[in-house]
């Protein structure tokens, strides 16, 4: 049971990290006008990506 919990925790963290990287890359690829249309400032991209990883 301990091993299953360990594997589950690692899987969850890897999934969260992938979501973070995917969101960070997608938002970083947008220009300032596209970000503005979404109501996002470039300086908040990392914060938003961290939120997507939760």
**Full pLDDT tens readout for the chain, 54 residues:** 799 999 999 999 999 999 999 999 999 999 999 999 999 999 999 999 999 998
The domain tally of the chain equals: 1
Q: 21 lies in a domain?
A: yes
Domain with 39 in it: 14-52
Q: 32 lies in a domain?
A: yes
> ∠ at Cα 35 (30, 26), nearest 5°?
40
pTM for this one? Answer: 0.85
Q: 7 lies in a domain?
A: no
Q: How long, in residues, is the chain?
A: 54
Q: 28 lies in a domain?
A: yes
Q: 3 lies in a domain?
A: no
Q: 8 lies in a domain?
A: no
| pLDDT of res. 12 | 96
Q: 36 lies in a domain?
A: yes
| pLDDT of res. 1 | 77
| pLDDT of res. 8 | 96
| pLDDT of res. 43 | 97
Q: 46 lies in a domain?
A: yes
């Amino acid at each position: 049971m301990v091993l299953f919990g360990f594997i589950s925790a690692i899987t969850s963290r890897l999934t969260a990290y992938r979501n973070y990287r995917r969101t960070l890359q997608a938002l970083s690829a947008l220009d300032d006008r596209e970000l503005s249309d979404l109501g996002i400032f470039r300086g908040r991209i990392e914060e938003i990506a961290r939120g997507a990883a939760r």
